[in-house]
Structure 1
Amino acid sequence: MTWLLTLAFDGTEYCGFQVQPNGQSVAAAFQDGLEAVIGFRPDIKGCSRTDAGVHALGFALSFEADVRILPEKFPLALNTKLPRDIRVLKARQVPDGFHARYAAHTKTYLYRIHNSPIDSPFEERYYCRMPGRLDEGRMQQAAAHFVGKHDFLALCAARSSAAAHGDTVRTITDCQVARQGDAVSITVTADGYLYNMVRILAGTLCEVGAGRMDPDAVPAILASRDRKNAGPTLPAKGLFLHHVDYGVL
């Protein structure tokens, strides 16, 4: 049988989801817990690799295993064997051949900004702090330019394998900026992402919000296909994989 699990995790202490030779990954920690519950270590397919330090509110992974545990009980069993910064929220059985990455219609990311000169002692590891006042109206005006099918090479880190192969066209279906007090959130929904794409997009929007870039400069930045014309790459700690949409399973 094939399982689809939804996880939430604090990525602070991990080198990303994917197993890496240079540090502890979310995948390895999850597989340790899974093996402790079911007695073996199946191959798991994550919906995304995620960079070091990136968090998740609704990460999806799939694997094949003949598990005689009810879906509603499976998360409870797994969570007793997982580190406290990784939690399984939901488990369900899906059709054979399902792949958490390739079956995804869209993925939604959230970037959190604390727009204040003073840090929060409780949430400092879950946002990027911007001390100067950001104009969220200008940011939203710029965000609208990202929506659609574009070549996003200008929002791609140089080490991207997709960029090396010229595969840099993606479709953003929604991009929103919202403020609640000192908290500014950027949410992006797309059919796929390039390396560091959301963090560079967020950095570009912050340049607009700070008045250092015009909102209507975005189309020219995308057309240039040149990374140096976009904003900075914001820290990984403000980024969350919010949820994955699989349509009707």
Structure 2
Amino acid sequence: MISPRVRYLIFFQYFGTKYSGVMEVSSDQPVLGVQNYLEKAADTLKPSARSKFVISSRTDSRVHALCNAAHIDIERSNGQPPFAERILVEALNRPLKREAIRILGARRVPSSFHARFSARSRTYVYRVATGCSCPFELPVFERNLCWATYRGHLNLPAMQEAAAFLLGTHDFSTFRSASSEIPERRPVRTVARAEIRPASGFLSHHSKNKSVLRLFSLASELRFWELEFTGPSFLYKQVRRMAGVLVAVGQNRLQPRHVEELLQTRDLMAYPQNTIAPPDGLFLKEVEYCEADLETATTEAKRQPL
């Protein structure tokens, strides 16, 4: 008896510091990618053919994901029925329990669905800490989770003014990475939202102990900030480059008008040196799909034989 091959949309998160990035690398490398561990977990399901994760959104080493997405085709052996979504999540999480990776959910989708190309938007958050003179002044819970800058607090109105220039559809050639310069790749991208706001640190956000919070505020001048960007897709390292320029505006090293000038220049060599934000503060927050497409997918999946 032949088992049906079923495609699932998988949502997952990870703490990126200990991985080479989300994408799979050769198994002989000293540091592996998140995908390596996802596929090892899928092997424990004992499918009739090896299952490969197709990742929605690429993230680099030291970049985190609150929620990334991928699709995977699973064909069970010996005519067994497809996995129920809840059972699949539990089965994949079991071999990942020692890793900083967690499967959040699974959803059956039709074979035409593609985790990368069906995505309608992606949202990234970049976290910045100001008011510390060295990384050791950060709370231990914040290390590797934000960019600690040492040039004073940020000029929020100037950053918001500068961010407005990034909104809409532009040629982002100045904000692309030199290491990914591919002639046929279109540098035109759309930024639907660019928001800068004061934020809470991990300790102040999660602790309800007022005495702890009071000690925290007295012992440090730390402030936290979030830069959030939403768009259908982004160029390689575009978010880190946008974040770096906006922080430079917030530090009064650049003026808001310089962001508009960088866009108009359309030359990656014009990007200010030593400005790109480091990877540690970057989080992929969300990958969005059209609910109408997923409802159609659910209907089609239900018609598949069980």
TM range (shorter): over 0.9
Tell me the equivalent position of 1:139. 159
Q: Which amino acid aligns with 1:73?
A: I
Q: 1:166 Cα deviation (Å)?
A: 5.0
User: Is 1:11–2:52 an aligned residue pair?
Assistant: no
Where do 5+ consecutive residues of structure 2 fail to align? 1-5, 77-81, 201-222, 295-306
Structure whose CA Rg is larger: 2
Q: Deviations over 1:52-110 (max 9, x none)?
A: 11110110000111353321232222111114300000111012221110111111111
Cα distance, 1:227 vs structure 2: 2.8
Over the aligned positions, Cα root-mean-square deviation in angstroms equals: 1.6
DSSP 3-state at the match of 2:124: strand
Contact 1:174 1:189 (C-alpha < 8 Å) held by counterparts: yes
Deviates more, 1:210-219 or 1:228-237: 228-237
Moved over 6 A (4+): none
- The 1-side partners of 2:46 and 2:104 are apart by 18
Q: 1:234 is matched with which residue: 261, 269, 277?
A: 277
Distance, in Å, in 2 between the alignment partners of 1:144 and 1:168 is 19
Aligned residue type for 1:106:
S
Task: Supply the distance in 2 between the matched residues of 1:165 and 1:158 (Cα, whole angstroms).
Answer: 14
Amino acid at match of 1:36: T
1:165 aligns with 2:193: no
Contact 1:37 1:81 in 2 (8 A): no
Equivalent position of 1:247 in the other structure: 290
Please state how far the C-alpha of 1:5 moved relative to its aligned partner.
0.6
Partners of 1:244 and 1:49 in 2: how far apart? 11
What does residue 35 of structure 1 align with? 43
Moved more, 13-22 or 137-146: 13-22
Residue correspondence of structure 1 range 177-188 to structure 2 within 5 A? 177-180=196-199, 182-188=223-229
Render the CA deviation track for 1:24-66: whole Å, top value 9, x for unaligned: 0110111001111344531221002211111101100001113
Contact between 1:46 and 1:62, CA under 8 Å: does it hold in 2?
yes
Q: How does 1:203-242 map to 2 (within 5 A)?
A: 203-231=244-272, 232-242=275-285
Out of 29, 33, 45, the residue aligned to residue 25 of structure 1 is 33
Matched residue, 2:204? none
The answer as to 2:240 corresponding to 1:199 is yes
1:189-246 superposed Cα distances (whole Å, 9 cap, x missing partner): 1121111100010000001000111112211110101234435111111111111111
2:163 maps to amino acid? A
* CA–CA separation in structure 2 for the residues paired with 1:243 and 1:135: 27
Identity of matched residues, %: 31
- The amino acid across from 1:24 in the alignment is L
C-alpha distance in 2, partners of 1:122/1:87? 19
- What TM-score comes out, normalization by structure 2 length? 0.77
DSSP-derived class of the 2:283 partner: strand
CA distance in 2, matches of 1:188, 1:88: 24
Q: How many Å apart are 1:112 and its aligned residue?
A: 0.8
Higher helix share: 2
Report which stretch shifted further, 177-186 or 33-42: 33-42
The answer for the alignment partner of 2:74 in structure 1 is 65
Q: Which runs of 5+ in 1 are unaligned?
A: none
Q: Alignment length, in residue pairs?
A: 248
Q: Is the 8 A contact 1:105 1:247 kept in 2?
A: yes
Of the candidates 44, 48, 54, which is equivalent to residue 45 of structure 1? 54
Partner of 1:125: 144
TM-score scaled by length of structure 1? 0.94
Letter in 1 for 2:65: A
Query: Residues 73 and 180 of structure 1: is their aligned pair in 2 closer, same or farther, counting only changes over 3 Å?
Result: same
Q: Is the 8 A contact 2:173 2:268 kept in 1?
A: yes
Larger displacement relative to structure 2 (72-81 or 237-246): 72-81
